[in-house]
Amino acid sequence: MPNVILHQNGQVYQQEVGENSNLVVLAGVRKFPHLKYGCGMGKCTKCMVKVISGGEKLQEPNWKESKMLGEKLDEGFRLACQLYISEDIELRQE
């Protein structure tokens, strides 16, 4: 099972999630409660996270991420609502 580490406001949260998990979906049912999110549809960027490690195994950014994040994609930012986690990953969210 993938291990997710989330850095947020000086805290570190660590949790195993199921294979192919979407963290915003899990947050919506309080199974990944610390993640901040909004629309869940790639339109608001409230779920934006910076990938610290493990990003090389993520799927390529989709058109919503490209449209909403622009140059931030190159800085390692992704939209959590558009990601399906299947490998260990470490993220930061401000």
Question: Which residues here bind ligand FES, judged by CB under 6 A?
Answer: 24, 37-40, 42-47, 79, 81
Three-class DSSP labels, 6-75: EEECCEEEEEECCCCECHHHHHHCCCCCCCCCCCCCCCCCCCEEEEEECHHHCCCCCHHHHHHHHHHHHH
Q: How far is the CB of 64 from ligand FES (least distance, A)?
A: 7
Q: How far is the CB of 82 from ligand FES (least distance, A)?
A: 7
Q: How far is the CB of 79 from ligand FES (least distance, A)?
A: 5
